[in-house]
Chains A and B, each alone.
Chain A
Amino acid sequence: MADLAAMTDPMLGKNSAGQTVLLGGFSEQSQRSHFPRGSVCPYTAAEDVVDHELPQTGVLWACTVINSAPPGYFGKVPFGFGVVQLDDGLRIVTRIAADLPGELQIGQPMQLVVEDLPLGTSEEDGTMKIWAFTPTLDQAAT
């Protein structure tokens, strides 16, 4: 399962501050970012795509809870699933890391985290890294 574990490697990177970021693409010609990075701009077919670090923060745009494990999934249930609108406007499909994802408010601030997920029922199956978003901690409370 090693190859499966590596599938998300091109999507997750580190920024200059050493923080995990999502790696997408950006086309100068279309002035749009996309994710994951493609060989052409997925909106205009422009070919001038360069690597692009996506913003680590955004707001919750849609959210539900998956209560039973879908096919091919070995992680915990229930888990949150939704769409976060990043600060640059890109909407990204994501796991939602929260104790009670069903009680989150649409529009609330979210930030990027990385989760490890099992690739099978035994430890030998290994894990994969996957992006998730979690409610941004209240600055005043920290």
Chain B
Amino acid sequence: MRRVAIAGVGMYPFGRHGELTATEMGATALRAALAQAGIRRGEFQATFCATAYGGVAAGHRVLSSLALTGGPIIDVEAGCASGGAALGLGAAAIESGQYDTVIVLGIEKMPKGIIRSSFFPSWMEAAGLAATPAYFALRAQRLMIEQGITSQDLADLVVKNRANGVLNPNAMFRSAVTREQVLGSTLVCDPLHLWMLCSPNEGAAAVVLQRADLAPAASVRLLATALRSHLPGSVLDESTPLAGLSADQITPPSTLAADAAYEEAGLGPTDLDVIECQDTDAARELLTWPELGLCDGGQQPQILAEGSFALGGRLPVNPSGGLLSKGEPLGASALGQVVELVHQLRGDAGPRQVESARVGLAHTIGRGANASVTILQAAEQGALGGR
């Protein structure tokens, strides 16, 4: 268990913000987090800045704009899991005794449209083999075949997350949708319709990590943070290889990260009260549930029908509205989840508050492949229930 607490959080809402730069968004989020933690210039020792498209020394630009430079500033890139990776580095630095207080920042301003990633070589783009949503579509199709998911289920997942987004003032999309509207939106790549895909966008999130004994008593505790990459062989995983094996027993990176985080935190899926997980597309979240051990593969339609993972259900997943409501600024998205969980575990999440939430899990999976899992616990100590 990490002896690290989250002393303050801040966000610049995810969306499209015209000419505003990632540096400016990052500065706003960072100011808010520092104010909340009561930390000023000279009272933190290092900064880890997650970004995929931010360019050279992106973190330096944010700290320069607030006259906070002087200490080490390290940019971190691990695809969609960049924020989780930065959080892990910051926490490890505190645990090792190197630092007492560390800033973890995530900033991003994504290009519009289909994400053009330097991950794909130019010849794959020319060959038509670099269309990211098409890979999502193939994975969705296999999920439907292998776990009995229907296109109605995919639509219902969107309905669930968008309903939560209505309650989140920081969400990009704040209107509820119906199953019929989702299935009536433009078909991007069968079986995925436009509203089943999250929007790449822009935004920032900031977290102040502190040695738990120095942090305010009400601070949320960081129980575990794990980052994993893919094992070779799965043709449709986020590493997007050109070929893979027919064997299906390859453990996905999300499961590798979750198992490591559960072990570090000393708890399991049944101890969780609230989840924020990767919903790049509707199928991605449905695939993630069994990968994190939240249910068995094939149970998703029943869970959707019964509302078990909706707000007010037994285990709310993506109470923030998820990426389907917020959009996905790669470097900031994982820390955006952490910010949401901190609000949930402090009990100040407003109308989307998960009742008596004490343990939360944040998950991202994306390009690389990179998967991160973070587990947080509310401040009031005491034995965890259930185990």
Interface bin, chain B: 35 or more
Q: How far is the CB of A114 from chain B (nearest CB, A)?
A: 12
**Interface bits B108-142 vs A (CB < 8 Å: 1, else 0):** 00000110100001110111111110100110011
> Is the CB–CB distance between A74 and B137 below 8 Å?
no
Minimum CB–CB distance for B248 against chain A, Å: 10
- Shortest Cβ distance from residue A58 to the other chain B in the assembled complex, whole angstroms: 10
CB distance from B167 to the nearest CB of A (A): 33
For B187, list chain A residues within 8 Å (CB). Answer: 67
Least Cβ–Cβ distance between B366 and chain A, in angstroms: 18
Chain B proximity mask over A43-70: 1 for CB below 8 Å, otherwise 0: 1000000000000000001111111001
A71 vs B233: C-alpha distance when bound (angstroms) = 27
Contact assessment for B233 and A43 in the assembled complex, using a CB-CB cutoff below 8 Å: yes
Instruction: Verify A89–B245 contact, CB threshold 8 A.
Output: yes
Write out the residue numbers on chain B whose beta carbons fall within 8 Å of the beta carbon of A102: 190
A59 to B122, CA, bound (A): 28
In the bound assembly, the distance between CA atoms of A70 and B126 in angstroms comes to 9
B245 and A81 contacting across the interface, CB-CB below 8 Å? no
Given contacts A32-B245, A35-B243, contact A70 B123 (CB under 8 A): no
Q: Are A81 and B128 in contact (CB under 8 A)?
A: yes
A75 to B126, CA, bound (A): 8
Do B127 and A64 have beta carbons less than 8 Å apart? no
CB distance from B238 to the nearest CB of A (A): 13
Contacting A64 at CB < 8 Å: which of B125, B189, B246? Answer: B189
Q: Report whether A64 and B141 are in contact in the complex, using a CB–CB cutoff of 8 Å.
A: yes
Contact among A89, A106, A128 for B127, CB-based, below 8 A: A128
The reply to whether B116 and A71 contact each other, CB–CB distance below 8 Å, is yes
> Is there contact, CB below 8 Å, between B122 and A72?
yes
Contact flag A72-B246 (CB < 8 Å), given A65-B190, A91-B235: no
Q: How far, in whole Å, are A92 and B129 apart by their CA atoms in the complex?
A: 12
- Chain B positions 225-266 with a Cβ under 8 Å from a chain A Cβ: 232-233, 235-236, 240-246
In the complex, whether B57 has a CB less than 8 A from a CB of chain A is no
**Across the interface, which residues of B come within 8 angstroms of A73, CB to CB?**
125-128, 130-131
**Secondary structure class of chain B's binding surface, majority of residues:** loop
Q: Are A34 and B145 in contact (CB under 8 A)?
A: no
**By the criterion CB–CB under 8 Å, are B242 and A93 in contact?**
yes
- For B122, list chain A residues within 8 Å (CB): 4, 7, 72
* Contact of A66 with B246 in the complex, beta carbons under 8 Å: no
Which residues of chain B are near A119, meaning CB under 8 Å? 126
Count of chain A to chain B residue pairs whose CB atoms are closer than 8 Å in the complex: 118
Q: Report whether B125 and A70 are in contact in the complex, using a CB–CB cutoff of 8 Å.
A: yes
Partner of A106, one of B116, B134, B145, B243: B145
Is A113 an interface residue, CB under 8 A from the partner? no
**Bound CA span A48–B114, Å:** 39
Given A67-B187, A72-B122, A82-B138, does the pair A35, B128 have CB atoms closer than 8 Å? Answer: no
Distance of A22 Cα from B267 Cα, bound (Å): 48
What is the distance, in angstroms, from B150's C-beta to the closest C-beta of chain A? 15
Partner pick for B123 among A7, A35, A42, A93, CB 8 A cutoff: A7
Contact present for B245 and A91 (CB under 8 Å): yes
User: Which B residues touch A32, using CB under 8 A?
Assistant: 245
User: Which chain A positions have C-beta within 8 A of B246?
Assistant: 85, 89-91
The answer, yes or no, to whether A110 is at the interface (CB within 8 Å) is: no
B189-A72 in contact (CB<8A): no
- In the bound complex, how far is the Cα of B235 from the Cα of A61, in angstroms? 11
Is A26 engaged at the interface, CB distance under 8 Å to the other chain?
Answer: no
Chain B nearest CB, measured from A57 CB (Å) = 15
Are B190 and A36 in touch, CB under 8 angstroms? no
Q: Contacting B114 at CB < 8 Å: which of A71, A117, A128? A: A71
A49 vs B165: C-alpha distance in the bound complex, in angstroms? 51
In whole angstroms, what is the CA distance A36 to B124 when docked?
13
In the bound complex, do residue B130 and residue A70 qualify as a contact, i.e. CB atoms below 8 Å apart? yes
User: Contact: A75 with B128, CB < 8 Å?
Assistant: yes
B188 at the interface (CB under 8 A from A): yes
Chain B residue contacts of A62, Cβ below 8 A: 138, 141-142, 236
Interface CB pairs A-B, < 8 A, 28: A4-B126, A7-B121, A8-B123, A8-B127, A24-B243, A34-B243, A35-B242, A36-B242, A42-B232, A43-B232, A63-B141, A66-B189, A67-B189, A70-B125, A71-B130, A73-B128, A73-B130, A81-B134, A83-B236, A91-B235, A93-B129, A93-B243, A95-B127, A95-B129, A117-B128, A119-B126, A128-B127, A130-B129
**Which of B's residues lie within 8 Å of A, judged by CB?**
113-114, 116, 121-123, 125-132, 134, 137-138, 141-142, 145, 187-191, 232-233, 235-236, 240-246
Chain A interface residues toward B at CB < 8 A: 4, 7-8, 24, 32, 34-36, 42-43, 61-67, 70-75, 79, 81-83, 85, 89-93, 95, 102, 106, 117, 119, 128, 130
Q: A24-B243, A89-B246 are in contact. List 7 more A-B contacts (CB 8 A).
A: A42-B233, A43-B232, A63-B141, A66-B128, A67-B187, A70-B130, A70-B132
